[in-house]
């Protein structure tokens, strides 16, 4: 179970199968660091690891435990690339920065698997590619355009017809697909715990149960205050993504926290396992309210979907995820379901992650729009580059002004309305 979480989203497969975590005691003293990092998810842990490797003294403050938030609760898909196609990034950010963003996001999967290999992280890593499944003709055309644009930047793409997609997935529900060999899948919580262990082994300090209550100026330094300790530092990296609160005024209003939920079966029999995802892929489909599914190391089947905020509505979405499973794989109609859980991704208005220089030596990276494994890891490296003084124009991601989303206080109503609209459009095949 996920500790200190609402019961409706706490029964996590990843928590139940996590590696033994290293002790991360609470901060109970006054300490100093070159760089303080708030949040021990993929972003913060990647930043910490990259910073200590270049000689920086790093302290990470986490409100719960490493990987507690979305980093330890997601589907584990390593999805290279941005939500928007490469041409859009160039059009929006200009040729030079657009090309840097394309390279950064396209190499995000390689970064993840390289970190896993170099640090011997045990997280059931499968570098088998990211499979996108087209549910209708419009979806397939979108995948074709995505493939064309990425191929123009040197990325290998494998188009799949209906038969080829069915062979890889074990279902004939899709008309084709696209396999991006740069991606794959992992056990997300064990990846986070492995990053934490690697950062500590390299010299970082990580304190759990140490929620930052205030960030104030202390002369040329920043003072971070927790319930029982204080931290003085030159640079602060805010890496809280969908769990961003009001610590930095206005930052929470730049993203929409959207609940994503998953369900998992008991381990499947050998006969069933051979009929579903034989290549260990973790597909995502092209619906607006996408389904994403995979198996784990023990042969459990996992289905993910977008969630809701109230317990009753969340339970309905969990039931829907189980129903979608049996639609795709009728052979799973009588399986036992053992786990159901969820967490918050962070969506942005423009579908791009955001990198903000907040002044006084403070920066934030957040808003991965459901692609957090690869993009959060890559953003952590960018934040590390910022912290050691790399000029903004030389970073691999643009620094943007912090802009709140209009009517943010009504975001739950807005998200639910959007979900209802997308559900109707998917049903109509639009």
- Cα separation, 342 vs 71, whole angstroms: 11
pLDDT of residue 205: 98
Mean pLDDT of the 213-240 span: 95
Output the pLDDT for position 308: 79
The secondary structure of residue 25, as a DSSP letter, is P
pLDDT at 418: 65
Q: How far is CA 406 from CA 105, 248, 256, 400, 422, in A?
A: 28, 18, 11, 17, 21
What pLDDT band is residue 309 in, cutting at 50, 70 and 90? confident
Question: What is the token pair recorded at 337?
Answer: 């379901």
Task: Record the tokens describing residue 74, joined without a space.
Answer: 């997601």
341 pLDDT more than 70:
yes
- What is the pTM assigned to this prediction? 0.95
Model confidence at 106, pLDDT cuts 50, 70, 90, reads very high
Question: Which of 11-15, 214-218, 231-235, 360-364 has the weakest average pLDDT?
Answer: 214-218
Burial 258-282 (b: 16+ CB within 10 A, else e): bbbbbbbbebbeeebbeebbeeebb
Q: What is the pLDDT of residue 405?
A: 87
Strands 292-295 and 354-359: unpaired
Angle (nearest 5°) at CA 24 between 22 and 29: 150
Residues facing 78 on adjacent strands:
184
Q: What are the DSSP E strand ranges found in 53-116?
A: 58-61, 77-78
Q: What is the pLDDT of residue 307?
A: 73
Residue 30: other Cβ atoms inside 10 A? 10
Q: How confident is the model at residue 428 (pLDDT cuts 50, 70, 90)?
A: low
Q: What mean pLDDT do residues 44-69 have? A: 98
Cα 253 to chain centroid, rounded: 19
pLDDT at 235 over 90: yes
Mean pLDDT of 182-211: 98
Across-strand partners of 345? 258
Please provide the size of the chain in residues.
Answer: 430
Handedness of CA 202, 205, 211, 216 (dihedral sign): negative
Where does the pLDDT of residue 430 fall: very low under 50, low under 70, confident under 90, or very high at 90 and above?
A: low
Which of the pair, 310 or 99, is modelled with greater confidence? 99
Q: Is the pLDDT of residue 306 over 70?
A: yes
Is the pLDDT at 13 greater than 90, yes or no? yes
The Cα–Cα gap between 57 and 53 comes to 10
**Is residue 146 within 8 Å of residue 178, measured between CB atoms?**
yes
pLDDT of residue 253: 95
Rounded average pLDDT over 95-118: 98
Contacts of 154 (CB under 8 A, 6+ apart): none
Q: Please give the domain boundaries of the chain with CATH numbers for all domains.
A: 7-411 (3.50.50.60)
Residue 99 has pLDDT above 80, yes or no: yes
308 within 8 A of 259, measured Cβ to Cβ: yes
Give phi and psi for 416, each to the nearest 5: -65, -40
pLDDT of residue 291: 87
pLDDT of 396 strictly over 80: yes
Binning pLDDT at 50, 70 and 90, where does residue 325 land? very high
Whole-number percent of the chain with pLDDT over 70: 95
List strands edge to edge, sheet with 130-134.
10-11, 337-347, 256-265, 301-306, 292-295, 284-285, 130-134, 176-180, 158-161
Q: What is the pLDDT of residue 410?
A: 66
205 has which bridge partners?
A: 59
Residue 169 pLDDT class (50, 70, 90 cuts): very high
Residue 134 gets the label, from left (phi > 0), alpha (psi -120 to 50) or beta, of beta
The phi-psi region of residue 180 (left if phi > 0; otherwise alpha if psi is between -120 and 50; otherwise beta) is beta
| Radius of gyration for the alpha carbons in the chain, expressed in angstroms and rounded | 21
**Which range has the worst mean pLDDT, 188-202, 277-291, 327-341?**
277-291
pLDDT tens-digit map of 360-373: 999 999 999 999 99
Which single residue is written with the structure tokens 């760089």? 35
From the list 43, 8, 12, 9, the residue with the least C-alpha distance to 255 is 43
- CA distance from start to end of the chain: 39
Rounded (5°) CA angle 235-239-245: 110
Residue 238's pLDDT band (boundaries 50, 70, 90)?
A: very high
How many Å apart are CA 220 and CA 196, to the nearest integer?
Answer: 29
User: Residue 39 above 80 pLDDT?
Assistant: yes
| Mean pLDDT for the chain overall | 94
Percent of the chain as helix, strand, coil, to the nearest 5: 35, 25, 40
For 61-86, the pLDDT digits (tens) are 999 999 999 999 999 999 999 999 99
**Is 417's pLDDT higher than 70?**
no
Tell me if 305 sits within 8 A of 291, measured CB to CB: yes
């Amino acid at each position: 179970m996920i500790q200190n979480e609402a019961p409706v989203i706490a029964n996590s497969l990843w928590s139940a199968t996590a590696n033994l975590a290293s002790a991360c005691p609470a901060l109970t003293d006054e300490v100093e660091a070159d760089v303080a990092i708030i949040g021990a998810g993929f972003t913060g842990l990647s930043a910490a690891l990259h910073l200590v490797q270049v000689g920086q003294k790093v302290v990470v403050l986490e409100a719960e435990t490493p990987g507690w938030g979305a980093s330890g609760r997601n589907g584990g898909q390593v999805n290279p690339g941005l939500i928007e196609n490469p041409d859009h990034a160039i059009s929006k950010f200009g040729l030079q920065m657009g090309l840097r963003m394309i390279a950064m996001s396209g190499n995000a999967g390689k970064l993840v698997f390289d970190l896993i290999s170099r640090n011997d992280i045990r997280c059931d890593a499968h570098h088998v590619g990211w499979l996108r499944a087209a549910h209708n003709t419009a979806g397939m055309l979108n995948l074709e355009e995505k493939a064309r644009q990425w191929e123009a930047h040197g990325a290998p793409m494998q188009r799949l017809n209906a038969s080829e997609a069915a062979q890889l997935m074990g279902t004939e529900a899709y008309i084709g697909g696209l396999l991006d060999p740069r991606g794959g899948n992992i056990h997300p919580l064990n990846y986070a715990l492995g990053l934490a262990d690697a950062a500590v082994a390299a010299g970082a300090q990580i304190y759990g149960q140490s929620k930052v209550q205030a960030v104030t100026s202390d002369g040329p330094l920043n003072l971070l205050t927790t319930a029982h300790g204080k931290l003085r530092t030159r640079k602060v990296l805010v890496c809280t993504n969908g769990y961003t609160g009001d610590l930095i005024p206005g930052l929470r209003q730049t993203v929409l926290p959207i609940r994503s939920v998953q369900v998992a079966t008991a381990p499947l029999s050998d006969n069933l396992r051979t009929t579903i995802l034989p290549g260990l892929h973790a597909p995502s489909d092209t619906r607006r309210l996408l389904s994403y599914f995979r198996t784990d190391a023990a042969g459990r089947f996992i289905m993910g979907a977008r969630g809701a905020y109230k317990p009753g509505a969340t339970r309905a979405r969990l039931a829907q995820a189980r129903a979608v499973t049996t639609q795709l794989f009728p052979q799973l109609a009588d399986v036992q379901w053992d786990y159901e859980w969820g967490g918050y991704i962070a969506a942005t208005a423009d579908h791009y992650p955001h990198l903000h220089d907040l002044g006084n030596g403070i920066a934030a990276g957040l808003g991965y729009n459901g692609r957090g494994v690869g993009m959060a890891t890559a953003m952590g490296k960018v934040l590390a580059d910022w912290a050691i003084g790399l000029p903004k124009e030389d970073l691999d991601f643009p620094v943007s002004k912090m802009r709140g989303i209009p009517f943010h206080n009504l975001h739950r109503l807005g998200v639910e309305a959007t979900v209802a609209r997308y559900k109707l459009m998917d049903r109509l095949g639009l």
